[in-house]
Structure 1
Amino acid sequence: MPSIRCGGCAKFLSPAEGVKCSICNAAYHRSCVGLPRGTSITSWRCPECTKNDRRDNKAETPVRGRADMGHSSDDLMSPGTVGHAENDMVASLSPAVATELRRFKEELCAEFRLMRHEVLQLRTEMAELKDSLKGCAEHMNSLEARVDALEHKLSEKASDKSPLEGVVAELKSQLNERDQELLLNDVEVTGIPESQEESTLHLVKVLSNKLGVAIDEKDIVHVERIGSTRRNREEPSEGTFNPAAQRPRSLVVRFARRATRDALLREARVRRGFNTSELGFGGPSRPAHRVYINERLTRTNRHIFYKARQAGSTHNWRYVWTKGGRVFARKEDGRKVERITCEDDISRIFG
């Protein structure tokens, strides 16, 4: 008996498994033409014989069903099936069109491979960038922690002086006290008019005689003017006197003995308020000015004394004075005497 092939899937079949067309006698698997098994069919036409019939959209119209030409849907979607279908389609076209389609396919594949390579490279770069950003974030967190620690340390130093700063302050205080000891025999006289032909020694003798203190030339080590030399030293002309321009420089006197200096200061406190007219320096063209006799202080002590007097005036302290080169203050009679050695003492005492 000759072998029979299915007209749909081209596979061999047995007469019991298939069905024959009543017109062309072509055999088909029942599954290929959508006929149920176990049913007897006496008159049946194959799809080739019925393809020219008028369609009426009835359900019995032969359909290959889920399997086309004996292949399942998975077989149809497999690469081999797609490749065969593509080759069959290309073979059915003209050679020029087929060549153009192959070239277009190759270009698409090349572009796809290039795009895939670029995407993989982009993913790699993004991963590296992510790691780099993570490292930068950790570094920034470390820097912020260090800055916070430094700020905290600086704030602690600002609130509490370091031992080195305390040592420096102590050394400055000791140097200032030693410099002040060198000035214990000196007095500073302000308010005496100045001229180019003056004799400073004669001025001191006139001043001491006016205060009732006998001073000999051997009691004086030296006398000099101190201060800026830009102040006017010329004699004022009539009608052109300017007190601000004619303010004289201070007169500094160093005595050979401290007792002589103390006697002069004691008498000056008793005669407080005497002026230049009492010393014979007044006149119609030169008004009288008060003369002040004080201890000579170092620049540091002079600044502290100035600040202490300002603070005492502001807070109504009655007494702010110097003795032996030291600055003292007392709010009123009967109260404790405070010694002022630095500006911190001013804020502590008067605050």
Structure 2
Amino acid sequence: MSPKGKKNIKNCSGCLKKIEDRRFLVCSLCRDSYDLECAGVSEQRFYNTLTGDHRANWRCVSCKSKQPKTDNTNTPVRISPEYVTQRRGASDLSPMQLDTTLPEQGLDDQNDTALNMTVEVSDIQALTLEIRHFREVFTSELQALREQMGALKDEVSALSGRLDRCESRTSALDKRMDTIEVCLTGVGHANAERLDEVEKRLEAVGRVQTEAGTGAGSGVVAALERTVAELKLELNNRDQDALLADLEIGGLPDEKGGNVFHDVAVLAGRLGVTLEERDVVFAERVGAPPAETGGARPRRVVVRLARRQLRDDLLRAARVRRGATGEGGGRVYINERLTRSNRQLFYRVREECRKQQWRYSWTRRGRVFVRKSDGSQVFHLRSLDDFARVFGAPGL
């Protein structure tokens, strides 16, 4: 196409398509161009019926709708001989006479009538196009709304499933908590019963000492003392077994109103272990606050976990990443939670190892172990008597 031809290309104001031929009409009011389809004019009428004046005076549907309607209420009405109401200017001739007189009438009147009918048809066609377009838009929007409702339904179903799983996990956790409480209660009752038994035996020992004095009574007393010592060790072991899911954390910042669980979870995350709220039975600080004691060291944190394996993972990660720090930047220490007897024994063992230059001292499952050097014998210390036997120092 030549550059001159490109300049004559117009866009239809109805369908916005390019008009690449000369078959279009221009509105006499808004001067917008319309192709024959949007103008509602057939090709036969465009070439055979529309004159130059008709094309020059042609108006689009939008402009016609904006024109005010004429008031013809005062138009007189007359009655035909056949008692049919007719408007002024209507023909009084019979159909036969009308047919014979049509050739005598001017072609302009016929063209005006045909043009008016075409305009009405074009109005109907434009309305039909608008209705069709509205129907398509409405259908597409309805389909999009259905898709959104389907997606929302899927999300609600997924959320309902997650809530069901959370409820089941909560129920399982409640059952485990009840089991732990029952176990702890049973251990407490058993310890109380054993303590009562120890007291009774001690009373018996006192009576034997009083009655026997020396001689044969001394052997009985020694046997009873050994029995008492064994019972104390057994009770201590049972108490230690009840703490196999516990940890002691030292060095965590002790701020007033702080969230202990949050501090523990952050520390576990730094060690590479994910700790959720359902994994912790309790987490609390023990001892007097630093402000009351006048010291700067924070209180120890005691944590009981729901699973022993999780506690072992935290201990293993703490040993691998020695020197872990809390949120305040201070060094944090993570150890097994020991009974008071085992804690005192382990403290004395560490001090004696430093004095005698033994390289290794550690705890495993609440038991205290020592070893002088690599490849040397490992000793399990249960009491101060074992401490004196291994290090050659008197026990307390």
TM score, norm. by length of structure 2: 0.43
**RCO higher in 1 or 2 (8 Å CA, sep ≥ 6)?**
1
Rg larger in structure: 1
